[in-house]
Structure 1
């Protein structure tokens, strides 16, 4: 009842002079209540759609609330049983007392129309909430206060609008096993029909796709590694591959969307959008990134660079390089991108640079961030890839391959993630073990090892909820900061890229 009182205080029942009356339909409310009081089983059909606060008349809201409470306890809700609870209700007395309940029941028509009445009551309640939200935004904007920044007001308004728009979408409740099985068969069929047999979005890296089955909607994937291992490069490569392959068409459910590739949102909290674009262009044009930075290119390289830039203009890859973003803003901006351009994959570079609301405890803050990222993945039904730093414990071991225990700051990263992957390049560590030129035997051995590890990288899958763990070998070309498919010896020397 407090929610109703609050709603009534925000949105007056009687419009102020010069304002329009709030949208409502008293007759629809009376008909729905009458049907419920004469046929209690109708309540189960409309309970997921209408709540007490959706009724415009506060007396009707109280009648619905008490009737619902009794029906939920398997007790009868009728004019006679409700009379005892509402005899002293001042609002009901104005309408004629308990006799009003009998009139409601007597005027009720067919139970078949109950769902339509419920839908109308809900729709009108949403309209009233929109009006209330508009007035609230207007009122807050009119008050010029130091503590209330316009940017914060926009984010708050956007969150409230999105929440209002998503009402009822996530409230799925129980579904029959038949429906669940049908959905599972449809996913398997989509994978069977798709090239490469993937259920999710292809990363463009064949061996990684085989191990993961592509990137699945609602999954949170953590991509972790020590500095200089190539986390950002791998994430950028995946983002570029997916955006480049984007093709829109009709989905199996009849809607429109990405049938190949997808729209990618990239939160780059460490690098600027220009630096990230330079990396992608380096990969696409096959011009070393350091040459792009210096402008040190031959005419042929520059022509390739310009051609690659033109080809990439239409790629649906959106970059946000705002530093130190709170997790709430990441969610709000991701929703906005999905609404305006669509969104099939979200990448965050990197997790530790996001901010949570907890200022005292870093572990709690990281936990809030990972839970927030998982919530975004489920809410928007997209895969979310979050990059993460690893602790220095890796450096102190002989075998530098990362493990789940190396994830920094919180066990919640491992707990909330559906997939945890580590990027590891042995070449990086071996380069730093180069012996002196005078030790010829050690130098020969070092050169032999370097030949074996040169241009190779490993993606170690340490956790996967829906599939196997293990290691995927990739090719890595440092000049272009590019990961690719590694050519196997039995593939007759076919190209890795």
Structure 2
């Protein structure tokens, strides 16, 4: 007897009688709901926000619910007479035709008061059927042990499918009706109208940047790149804090919370520890330099300011993960968990080149970066949140006379440039001009250098090199190096960069 045969548990008589288990469904509840809709179309609006045709188990019921919904949305009356023209009215349902079946549904209709309860029962049963499908697939794949799907990949796939089921009530994706997409676009426009600053996305807290980008757009992959010392991490922490600090929750009908302004932020800090990141944010927000905080070289008034700000930080929904060398699969799993447990509206990754792919160790670095950027883009769409991913630039920038970054300067640039919806470069000319200071202050060129340095001192350029749904260009910001803080310039005439 082989190993598989020994694992089989002998069936009892009771088990033998139950050779077939039907998937959970309630035909009577579906009939009762459809009857209520046919008698009083208001019943449809009691369930339409959560119940879709796919949630009904009986194919004919799905078609009736879909046709009734289309008719009602057009402002017409859905009843057995108007619906039957869109169905095969002469087709048999048991010993009745479809037309007779519609009339029977209406004649035996329940009260509209019960419509939502029936709708909820149908929805719950649909979720149970989906759970069974996911569970069966997990068991079958685990038994088959395919070479292209190791256990870790199966866990990630199961977790993704369960997350989608928990978030949307379905996990199979597929086509979406265009009128549903139009409704979503109109909703987004309405929310932008009501939101502070009339932005379609989440405000970054920097007005001149928001004016060009319309805020941080949901599901976008925003790559923020720059050479070391340019302040890309500082800009990312500024934006992360601004978004989290502006968070205003709004209670939804199902008891969950949604951000009216700002949002819950997840920050993956692969380079700095959480303490270093917190010190940066404290410095940015309290005007106490981080070097003084680290040395303890602060006055009593400054210490009180730090304590006061720490109390504000405790209430701010900014969550930090400091795991070094995290893989795209681990990052995705943790982001899904954060969204389920605390909510999630924006994700920051510092930075792409410190992540690892989830492929074979034989993959070269370009393939690994492709895996990472493709994974980040897919995660943004899945969670419906903007992802700000920081990236290094290649050294070729330093060898050019014009140090202003270009898309070709992105390290392993092909996939980063291709997958990103927005590419931002942080460029501080002050950094380069400062290094060109003549040693002798009596040098004839010293005065020329001084004038140039004063012109660029305390400023930074954020170059929008790519943007799928908006203009490119350069936004000039103020930068306070001591506190690593980016802000809008006081003089609005400087918000646009002019070529020299």
Q: TM-score, normalised by structure 1?
A: 0.72
Distance of 1:265 and 1:22 partners within structure 2: 48
Structure 1 match to 2:22: 25
Structure 1 match to 2:336: 335
Indicate conservation of the 8 Å contact 1:264/1:317, yes or no.
yes
Indicate conservation of the 8 Å contact 2:220/2:381, yes or no.
yes
Structure 2 spans left out of the alignment, 5+ residues: 1-6, 29-51, 60-87, 106-117, 144-149, 495-500
Structure 2 match to 1:264: 265
Indicate conservation of the 8 Å contact 2:430/2:456, yes or no.
yes
Distance of 1:26 and 1:204 partners within structure 2: 50
Distance of 1:27 and 1:362 partners within structure 2: 48
Distance of 1:376 and 1:13 partners within structure 2: 45
Structure 2 match to 1:349: 350
Structure 2 match to 1:454: 457
Structure 1 residues 371, 15: closer, same or farther in 2, change over 3 A?
Answer: farther
Structure 2 match to 1:125: 129
* SS of equivalent residue, structure 1 residue 399: coil
* SS of equivalent residue, structure 1 residue 472: strand
1:191-213 per-residue CA deviation (whole Å, 9 max, x = no partner) reads: 22323221111111010010000
Structure 1 residues 12, 206: closer, same or farther in 2, change over 3 A?
Answer: farther
Q: Aligned match of 1:406 in 403, 406, 409? A: 409
1:27-84 per-residue CA deviation (whole Å, 9 max, x = no partner) reads: 96999xxxxxxxxxxxxx96787799xxxxxxxxxxxxxxxxxxxxxxx9xxxxxxxx
In the alignment, does 2:431 pair up with 1:428?
yes
Structure 1 residues 182, 28: closer, same or farther in 2, change over 3 A?
Answer: closer
Distance of 2:372 and 2:479 partners within structure 1: 31
1:301-335 per-residue CA deviation (whole Å, 9 max, x = no partner) reads: 11111111111111000000001111011110000
* SS of equivalent residue, structure 2 residue 250: strand
Show the 5 A alignment for 1:220-299: 220-250=221-251, 256-299=257-300
* SS of equivalent residue, structure 1 residue 411: helix
Q: TM-score, normalised by structure 2?
A: 0.71
Show the 5 A alignment for 1:91-170: 110=101, 122-128=126-132, 158-159=159-160, 161-162=162-163, 165=166, 168-169=170-171
In the alignment, does 2:484 pair up with 1:484?
no
Structure 1 residues 364, 127: closer, same or farther in 2, change over 3 A?
Answer: closer
Structure 1 residues 277, 122: closer, same or farther in 2, change over 3 A?
Answer: same
Distance of 1:246 and 1:390 partners within structure 2: 32
Structure 1 spans left out of the alignment, 5+ residues: 1-9, 32-44, 53-75, 77-101, 141-147, 492-497
* SS of equivalent residue, structure 1 residue 196: helix
In the alignment, does 2:375 pair up with 1:367?
no
Distance of 1:489 and 1:128 partners within structure 2: 59
Distance of 1:22 and 1:276 partners within structure 2: 59
1:335-370 per-residue CA deviation (whole Å, 9 max, x = no partner) reads: 000000000000000011111123322111111111
Q: CA RMSD in A?
A: 4.2
Distance of 1:355 and 1:231 partners within structure 2: 21
Q: Aligned match of 1:473 in 455, 473, 476? A: 476
Indicate conservation of the 8 Å contact 2:205/2:242, yes or no.
yes
